Copies of this chain bind each other. A is one copy, B any other.
Amino acid sequence: MADFSHFNEDGRAKMVDVGGKDTTVRTAVATGRVLVNRECFDLIKSGGMKKGDVLGTAQVAGIMGAKKTSEIIPMCHPIMINGVNITFNYNEEDLAIEIMSEVKCSGVTGVEMEALSAVSIAALTIYDMCKAVQKDMVIDQVHLVSKSGGKSGDFVWKG
């Protein structure tokens, strides 16, 4: 059964006290993708989308977005991120731009939200850069791939 102890006494949200947790190396990997049409896919791949180099801009946005996580997600703790990497894959079969982020820190709380924010903001940036060409793109399959470090143990996505 889930632990309800983190409500405050009034049943309202609070930022959980992580003061007693150990400082360990923590890693999280997240993924997501943007479904596009053939024209859009080819334009991104050839580096010829309106507003310029789509994936290069999405990558900078995703990395900066990881750093903004505690500012945009209300109950997230500020974290000293040690490193962020983002990679892209062209999935020809599904006409999808696949995004993979990896975030590391040495701290008392995990970096799952940072990895998921990096993916989401990179995906939104791809949408923005391409929306003059296609408006019915879809962002989907945004989820955690793995995490390590911390009391709650490692996690690996099982699909």
Binding site for B on A (CB under 8 A): 2-19, 25, 32, 39, 43, 47-53, 55-57, 59-61, 63-68, 70-88, 104-108, 112-113, 116-117, 120-121, 123-125, 127-129, 131-133, 135-144, 147, 152, 155, 157-158
Contact = CB atoms under 8 A, between A and B. Distances in A.
A25 to B, nearest CB: 6
Given A11-B47, A11-B53, A63-B74, A135 B147 contact: yes
Contacts of A116: 124, 127, 139
Number of copies of chain A assembled together: 6
Given A81-B78, A108-B82, A112-B135, A53 B147 contact: no
Given A139-B143, A140-B140, A53 B87 contact: no
A6 B143 contact: no
Residue of A60, A108, A128 with highest tally of chain B CB at under 10 A? A60
Given A128-B73, A139-B142, A143-B137, A10 B61 contact: no
Given A73-B121, A75-B125, A132-B152, 18 more contacts: A3-B132, A6-B51, A12-B86, A13-B52, A13-B129, A14-B51, A14-B83, A19-B105, A53-B56, A57-B60, A78-B78, A82-B108, A113-B127, A116-B139, A120-B120, A120-B139, A140-B140, A140-B142
